[in-house]
A and B are shown apart, each in its own frame.
Chain A
């Protein structure tokens, strides 16, 4: 498949904004990158590979993403932390009927008070995107399949 240079840059820019919103905020704007009807899964790789449906975060609409973000900020008791998402190897795998399939790799570093940085989560995004009326790309489906199945304590914020 020939590389669509414009689309490639557009996707890279979207993933960069995605990472910025999660890491530097405002977190409440992060769900806006998704379609109203969407699916977001944070799923351990062993479940994914074996066809087991359990995800440790499952949001089935933008509303559920909003609820998750609010709960992470307001109800989950947790130590303060900084996250840093690194998204690489962005690649379009198919374009069909206005929908774009894309994959990307991610590694998320976590910094806790009084501790050295560590890898919180590493894996790949398996995504489906579409265009809004204004032409902007949005996520319809995002499966965050993480290889680091043994989670270092707690994942509070989205990956």
Chain B
């Protein structure tokens, strides 16, 4: 048992965020147990990544490596990627197809459900050695995740039982989830991976924070993709753990909303306008929907780039941001090309997301040296209600309301 963290949340409730939560190793361990191994549906992959029986992928839930498989009956399974014998990381490949997962150390082997199927020399060699009489392979199955799937997206949980995903997401968040994952076949376009030197919660805060988006992201604002004066909404589920930032593209011109941006580049004209040729593809008028799903997923629809960003914590001071870009099987060549071009804005080299990974690093450098201080979340008031504008930190306050309940802070 690790040391229980000691934290006194500062006065001011969810409008004050103690910097200790970004760097304290004991808090991090408790987050891995309560948040990532607790009552949450964590994103683990897409159905198209493991289409056939025997297929597997390795990913992480929290900082723990897990294997997601499709068993011989076509069922999706998940288990911890760690041999029950000596704790060795069992599967060393990110993707593949196999009947058995064999530990390299003593060749204990497991099937696609995580059941222990083989132990070499279990009866000994020439009547020598072997496991004790009471050794039962069934006692050594790998810890399993329960899984669920909705329109091609796979979630896993270490909880013994979980409500269905639509109950977990709530009505509004389910509706927007289904807006992107509407049952059409998905087409995998590729991955981008980056190791960001900041606490994992800073990534969620970033995507739940529309206040920064119109100020930090000069590229977005310059080309009118996101502006503080656009028609927009922030919406949460009843618990506050999931959120939606919904916005509608406006004009690329100076206005009251850009007056406070000191480095706006009004004279920046693209040499090749194909970089930004968004087309409407969803029934509603929203051009940006950023959805954050507790505990590890961001669903990104920025114009025509669709991506899942999975947050994989790697200790209190860093996390991997693992991006999976996709389109639909019915996309034509032009649409696929458009999605690939717009991905220039969002990736480990993103013209827009680069601002975020850089600012998260700077945040971590600031907060980790001052664990007894606290950040301020007062924009838009003190509540955590839905809003019809972007000048607010309401979704961060909602997130921390839920975080505090789960963590007991």
State whether A55 touches B354 (Cβ < 8 A): no
Secondary structure class of chain A's binding surface, majority of residues: mixed
Assuming the A-B contacts A44-B193, A56-B347, A76-B354, are A67 and B272 also in contact, with contact meaning beta carbons closer than 8 angstroms in the complex?
Answer: yes
Q: How far is the CB of B38 from chain A (nearest CB, A)?
A: 27
Stretch in contact with the other chain, from A90-98, A100-108, A125-133, A149-157: A149-157
Number of A-B contacts (CB under 8 A): 129
**Chain B interface (Cβ < 8 Å from any Cβ of A):** 94, 188-197, 216, 218-219, 222, 263, 265, 268, 270-272, 274-275, 320, 325, 336, 340-341, 343-344, 347-351, 354-355, 357-359, 361-362
Question: CA A74 – CA B197 in complex, angstroms?
Answer: 24
For B340, list chain A residues within 8 Å (CB): 53-55, 58
Which residues of chain A from 63 to 116 have a CB within 8 Å of any chain B CB?
A: 63-64, 66-68, 70-71, 74-79
Q: How far is the CB of B320 from chain A (nearest CB, A)?
A: 7
Assuming the A-B contacts A64-B272, A74-B268, are A57 and B362 also in contact, with contact meaning beta carbons closer than 8 angstroms in the complex?
Answer: no
Nearest B residue to A54 by beta-carbon distance?
B190
- A contact residues, total (Cβ < 8 Å): 37
Q: How far is the CB of B367 from chain A (nearest CB, A)?
A: 17
Q: How far is the CB of B271 from chain A (nearest CB, A)?
A: 3
Q: Closest 7 CB pairs between A and B?
A: A54-B190, A63-B271, A63-B272, A52-B190, A151-B348, A155-B349, A47-B190
State whether A52 touches B94 (Cβ < 8 A): no
Question: CA A159 – CA B350 in complex, angstroms?
Answer: 14
- CB of A61 within 8 A of chain B? yes
Assuming the A-B contacts A77-B355, A153-B361, A154-B358, are A54 and B191 also in contact, with contact meaning beta carbons closer than 8 angstroms in the complex?
Answer: yes
For B354, list chain A residues within 8 Å (CB): 76-78, 154-156
- CB of A46 within 8 A of chain B? yes
Question: CA A52 – CA B197 in complex, angstroms?
Answer: 27
A34-48: CB near B (< 8 Å → 1, else 0) gives: 000000001110110
Assuming the A-B contacts A67-B270, A150-B195, are A75 and B265 also in contact, with contact meaning beta carbons closer than 8 angstroms in the complex?
Answer: yes
Q: How far is the CB of A144 from chain B (nearest CB, A)?
A: 11
